[in-house]
Every structure is written in structure tokens, then in C-alpha cells.
Amino acid sequence: MKKLTIGAAIVSAVLAVGCGDDSAKDAGVAETKPAQTDQAQMNNNDGAKDSKDSASTGGNPFFEQWDTPFGMPPFDKIKDEHYGPAFEKAIAEARAEMDAIANNPEAPTFENTIEAMEYSGKLLTKVSSVFFNLTSANTNPKLQEIQKDVGPKLSAFRDDISLNPKLFERVEAVYQQRNELGLREDQMRLLEDNYKSFVRGGAKLNEEQKQQLRDFNKEMTELALAFSENVLAETNNWEMVIDNEEDLAGLPQGLIDAAADTAKKRGHEGKWVFTTHRPSKTPFLMYSEKPELRAKMYHGYTHRGDNDNANDNKEIAAKLAKLRAKKAQLLGYNTHADFVLEERTAKNAENVYELLNQVWPAALEQAKAERALMQEQIEKEGKDFKLKASDWRYYAAKVRNEKYALDEEAVKPYFSLESTLQGVFYTANRLFGMNFKERFDLPKYHDDVRTFEVTDNDGELIGIFLTDHYVRDGKRGGAWMNSYRKQFVTEDGEFVKPIIVNVLNYPRPVGDEPTLLTFDQASTLFHEFGHAAHGLLSDGVYPSQTGTSVPRDFVEFPSQVLENWMLEPEVLAQFAKHYKTGEVIPQELIDKIQAASKFNQGFATTEYMAAALLDMAWHTLDGKELKDANAFEKATLDKLGLIPEIAPRYRTTYFNHIFSSASGGYSAGYYSYIWSEIFAADAYQAFRENGIFDKETAKKYKKYILSSGGTQDPIELYKKFRGKEADPKYLMISRGLIEADESK
């Protein structure tokens, strides 16, 4: 659902990528030393003008014009205690602006109503963009307390806008005369989206219903925040301490060193500590020769939020699902999924299930075939037990190594974090003419952060790109892209350049060794930069339409399509170099990587699909009863026929995508990844047909997909790029679920 502009300023988008070194000038990467002058200075146009009472606020940075390079947030000056007063003042200012629009004595026009709303709330945008980025990437107990306090206030404020009858009356008046106003296409879409947002926000409800909606929204905000905090606490608190060196059998030395470092930091010096953070959990399950320890790790990861303790999420998730259904019905929809999907390219649950049910049987069949291969491997080793879920990654690695002679540990030296970023930058330069200079003088919120000035081939500033790569306790799991400032054009016609951040959770370097990435981790770096490019190359007018402001089931498309370039020999030759010798990755190893790229896709697709179908099951409920979360999940998965050796990628109690956002996040939308992949696979086919760096294809892709954002209908934009609708067959081929000749 597209929010009203004020709402969009509040809600932090989730996505991710990048980093770099000075070794690949041909990749468009260079360094700028601290003393070097800025090519461009930009004021923070999202910020409020200097307030007359700023002196009385104790020099709160949010009440001042930021004179930092490029209008970057002055992170070193912003303290936790500044957020409370800043939010209080920002909400008050935004409320006053909205009241002024609602009570304007002049007849409603596009300019004095729709555009006025679009450009209101500058201080709220300024505060929110910093605060919600940091509560995801670098939180602490104080910020969490502020979030608990401000969340309900922001929810109430959003409701005050959506349910303001005078404001809706003006919006509706402009909407009724929309065809006589001579609006541009983006203006018409802005008007229509605002009108629909009011209606979907409850503007046509009676007073009793409006109060009920407010109560629903307030409770859902509190529940979503609690869910998120519980997952973070469960992830941070769980640890497996090993004090017997024999229990490290099979583990790569880099993982052992990282575990020793973690142990030291957690007060277990001389021992080894493994956690459920992905950089620790995944390789442990892949390489540990101790099945009982693999089982312990697997249980710890898959039971987060399901331990009947203070951080338990079972009842919270069930309550959220019920409240969402009740809210949808209050607004005239049968289910939460019906409410959500109306605004997506999928349009309805039937279309979602049609795709998922088309892919599910093939994926499950492939997963069963993979299970049989691993059971054969167990028996070949003379062991007598049935494969368990905690064994899957261990035996998958063995089978892959034997089948393709591809050892993940042999691949990692060619994918250092630094060199892989060079591959990302090289690809961005070849496709879109983007050049990257690392800056050492720009403000940053943590020492891990790196900053890059991004320019085009004429030296014109595109935007600022921040990267934050390493796992730490104050950062939520996963990988994402967000913006500290979106691209837009001000009321005065000034083109504001974006400030984009990518956040990941890679293992931190140990000693003098660099961070070495698995193939999947390297692919994630490309994936997340696809999101960043979507934000950086934006070229629109209104902030609620620019960058990644597209339907949820379209937003993953630009990130997914960029992953394809990483496997191209021409790109690999540019960056996949051994971190010690500088040797370019051998063609033989490239061939093995490509041959193995579709291995274990039955597992990968099935665990993802199980989560997507679980999400849909929760959000097609009628809300008449509060479900027992574990019983409901089990019944859903049993009905699907999910094999016991595979769990959903996310079980209910740690499914942050769908339960940690007050606005709904990916609820009734986790299918979006595979839906977007239809566009991604079909789009890359265009590059295959014309050349992977074909200038005309890249130009059209940039113009219609990356730069246009939400200014037009995404399906129409895609057809302008491709000349036709996306063909799902390329998705099935890319996942190895059908052969190319089967699709003819």
C-alpha cells in the first residue's frame, strides 16, 4: 500500500549491499583523500529551516541546517537524547501543516492540496530517516525505548491524517476533477494514489469505525515492535560455547578464528562461541562433523521466539494476523491479503497462489531427489541413520563437492569482500556509467561504515553511497538498502541527490585476513547493490514516487537481475582474484561454479516457497479466532506436503519480514521475491539476446526501470523496456526446475 506522503516519511524501507578498495581503477573506483575538496555541496533539503527557537532546544542538530558535505546527517553531533524532542517538534509541525492544508479557504487544487501534502513534514522526514535507519543498523536500549514511545505517536498521527474529513474532502474534490486538470502522468498517479490511500486508510468510515481503526493500528504498532525486539534478543542471546577442540572437527580455520574472537568478546576467552547469526550458523551447519552439535545449532536457530520465555513470539504473531484480518474487514475486504494485494502487481491472492502452486510441485520433487542423493551419501559412508533437517547443509556440501568437485572453501579465496565489491562497481560502471570515489571525510554512524561519492562519466554527482558490512549485536539480521535522503525535486525546482545505504551481516575480518565470502554471500553483494542502483539512479519529481517506491512484488526485480552478471566470465575475470596471489579465478573453477549454480535449488526453492505459502496462510485467515501459532504452522506445512528434512526459510516466530513492521512489511507479500524473479529472469534474457553490456538495452533498463520509480504503472514500464510482458518460463529455467527445451 502506498502511504500518504507523511506516512512514507515515517516508515523505513528495508533492503541492501556494498564496499570497495583501491585496486580496481578500471572498475570506476577511486579514492578521495580527506583534504580533497568536494565536487558538490548540497544542503539537506529534507530538513526543516532553522527554527527561531533552536537556541532553547539546546542545539539539537535536527533543528539546524546541516552544513556537512552533501548535506549528510552529522552523526557525530546527533545524540540519543535529541530524538525525543525532535520527534515531538516534527510531529507538531507536520500536524500544523496538514491542518493548514485542510483549512485552506481557497478552493482545492492539485498545487494547494496534493503537492502541498507531498512536500509537508520536512522535519519529520529528516528525523525519521536517521532514526529508523539506526534502529535497524545500530540500535541500543535507549533507541529501543524511544521507538516504543514514538511508534504509537506516529501511528496516531498517520491516523489523524487519514481520518481527517476536511483533508479528505479537499483530496476528493481534486480527484473528482482529475481529468480536466491537464496533469502529467506522474501527477495523475500521485493524485490517484493519495485518494486511494485516504480511502484505504479509513476516510469513508463512520466515527465509531474510525476509532476502532485507531485502536487496531495502535495495538498492531506495539505488537510489531515487540516481535522485532524479541527476535533480536533471541538471536543475540543464544550461544553455543565449545571448550573441546575435537568438537571443531571439519570447521574451516577462518570460522574457528572468528568463533575464538567472539568467545573473547563474550567473556569465554580460550574457548569458541558460535551463534545463530548467519555468518556463524550457516558454515557451522555446512562443515561441522559433529551431528549432535549441528542439531543443537539448528534447533537454536529454528526456535527463536519459540522458547516459552520472555521473548516468545507465538501469541504476538497470532494476534497480529487476527488484527490485520479485522482491520481489512473493517475497510471492506475479506482478508488482509485482499487488502494488501489490491496495490500489488499480482492484484489478488488467486494470482499469487497460481504462481506458487505452479512452482511448488516441481520444487518439492527436486528437493526429494536431492534428499535421496544425500541419503545415498550417508549410506556410502557406511552410516545407518536417516537424514535430518540439521544434516541437510552438511551433506549437500559433500554431494556438491563430489558431484561437481566444487569445495566452497576453495572458492572463497577468490571472493574477498573487497574484490567482490570491485566486481559490483565494475558492473555498475559498464552498465550505467557509475563511478565511485571513497571518501574518508564524510560523517558516519559507525566505524564499520564506508562512504562513496558516486558520479556519472561526465563527473556529475549522482549521489552518496554508504556501506555497512559486518555483523554486530546492535544490527538486525539480514541485508537491506535504505535511504537517508531520497532523490526528488523541490518546490523550487532543485534536483536533490540521494544518500543511499546498504547494510549487510558479513563476518568481520580476523587478524590480517580479509573477509572471504561464500558464493551466496558474494551474490548478495550484487543483489543488494541492485537495490542501491534503484535508489541512486532515480529521476523523478515527487519523493513518494522516487527510488524504490514501487509495489512490493516489483521492488526485488532490480536487485535480482543484477545477480546474473556475477556469474559472467567477463565480470569474474575483473574481480574474482585470489586474495593472496592475485591469480584470476581459473576457467575450470568458473565452469564448476556455473555447473553447480543450480545444485540444491530444490531445497532453496522449497524452503522459500514454504515461507511464502505460510505467509499467505496467515494472511488469508478471516480473523474469527486467535490461532495457536505452532499448531497452525504445522497444519499448513503438513497440508503442503513439506518434507520433514526442510523447514520454512522463516518459521512464524522469527518471520521478521511479515510480523515486525507496523505497516505490514512483507505480510501477504513474501511471495514477492519469486514474483519479481519473473521480471528479473525475463529481463536478463534481453541482455543475453543483445549482449550483457549492450548499451541500448542498459539505457532502456535504466530509463524505464531504475529511473522511473513509481511514476507510472510498473507493468507498463516493464513493457516499455522489454517490448512485451515478462515470460515466467525463464524463471523456471533459471532455477533449474525445467530444462530450456521443455519450455518451448
- List, by residue number, the catalytic residues: 528
Q: For the chain, give percent helix, strand, coil, nearest 5.
A: 55, 5, 35
Nearest to 277 by CA among 257, 258, 290, 295: 258
Element (H, E) at 495: strand 495-496
**What region, left, alpha or beta, does residue 267 occupy, with left being phi > 0 and alpha being psi -120 to 50 degrees?**
left
Task: Tell me the torsion sign for CA atoms 329, 333, 334, 339.
Answer: negative
Cell 537524547: give the residue: 81
CB 356 within 8 A of CB 609: yes
Whats the size of the chain, residue-wise?
Answer: 744
CA angle 79, 143, 233 (to 5 degrees): 145
CB 53 within 8 A of CB 424: no
Rounded to whole angstroms, the Cα distance separating 258 from 250 reads 15
User: How many Cβ atoms are within 10 Å of 504's Cβ, its own excluded?
Assistant: 24
Residue partners of 219: CB distance under 8 A and separation at least 6: 319, 323
Instruction: Decide: helix, strand or coil at residue 438.
Output: strand
* Residue 651 grid coordinates: 518459521
Nearest to 360 by CA among 657, 671, 621: 671
Rounded to whole angstroms, the Cα distance separating 253 from 277 reads 18
Write the DSSP assignment of 203-258 as a string of letters: TTS-HHHHHHHHHHHHHHHHHHHHHHHHHHHHHHH--EEE--GGGGTT--HHHHHH
